[in-house]
Amino acid sequence: MTKFEIRGVHADVLIGAEEREEILKGVDLTINSGETHAIMGPNGSGKSTLAYAIAGHPRYEITSGEVLLDGENVLEMGVDERARAGLFLAMQYPVEVPGVSMSNFLRSAVTAVRGEAPKLRDFSKELQGSMKNLAIDSSFASRGVNEGFSGGEKKRHEILQLELLQPRMAILDETDSGLDVDALKVVSEGVNRIRQSGEVGVMLITHYTRILQHVHPDYVHVFAGGRIAESGGPELADVLESEGYERFAKAGA
């Protein structure tokens, strides 16, 4: 059983040498393993800032509050340590790492998380299996990480990492955006596969209700003005679908 807690988090974005702006204004959220929480909200409400702040991105500074994974302070961990602790973050805009092949990158990531390098042959088999599940052509294994990938290919690659790393807590920032219907289905199936164990907590950040037709959340939170403005069950997504975010845009201002 894993507990991921975001407690009273305030965070600034560092804009220039002198300039900063508070974006997160007191975020509280607890996610237990086996639960999927959808974080929905208008553009610019701070959803990605929350993901970046948890990831420890240097442009974002948490000014107060804490983030805990089973009581351990995530914000004090290095990037590798976070991954070893079982935290997985898929960013809205995955970075390209030219010159490093996908298979090398993924094997290193798996090695870091599992604490020992998988045998090359075993890993190749595992990788090919997961790639097949995600309808990723096997030729991608030798390509540079995200290099020249389309938006949809980058998102599939994020889910490939997710499947191989088997985290305890996964934060997925707009993994659904820019996907066509078929890709959305493949990506959703990937997310649902890792949920099956009941041992992973999922924070699914999304602007649209579309993915929630495939990945059914246990809880839905509306993010507005840098905090959670309302929380509810899956029915809250239906309200948003019909009413939009207007009501919350005001509350967050």
Select the residue interacting with ligand ADP from 2, 33, 36, 49 (CB under 6 A): 49
Based on the shown chain and the rule CB under 6 A, indicate whether residue 13 belongs to the binding site for ligand ADP.
Answer: yes
- Considering only the stretches 2-10, 20-28, 42-50, 94-102, report the one whose residues sit in contact with Mg ion under the rule CB under 5 A: 42-50
What are the backbone dihedrals phi and psi of residue 166, each rounded to the nearest 5 degrees, phi first?
Answer: 45, 60
Based on the shown chain and the rule CB under 6 A, indicate whether residue 90 belongs to the binding site for ligand ADP.
Answer: no
Half-sphere CA count of 17, side-chain side, radius 13 A: 0
Based on the shown chain and the rule CB under 6 A, indicate whether residue 146 belongs to the binding site for ligand ADP.
Answer: no
Select the residue interacting with ligand ADP from 59, 114, 125, 216 (CB under 6 A): 59
Residue 181 tokens read as 């219907």
Select the residue interacting with Mg ion from 18, 43, 78, 116 (CB under 5 A): 43
Environment class of 18 (CB within 10 Å of its CB; exposed 0-12, middle 13-18, buried 19+) = exposed
- Considering only the stretches 6-14, 38-46, 155-163, 188-196, report the one whose residues sit in contact with Mg ion under the rule CB under 5 A: 38-46
DSSP 77: S
Q: Pairing relation of β-strands 201-206 and 169-173?
A: parallel
Max Cα–Cα distance, the chain, nearest Å: 56
Minimum distance, C-beta of residue 196 to ligand ADP, in the bound complex (Å): 28
Strand partners, 97: 145
Q: Which CB sits closer to ligand ADP, 46 or 190?
A: 46
Binding site for ligand ADP (CB under 6 A): 13, 15, 23, 41, 43-49, 59
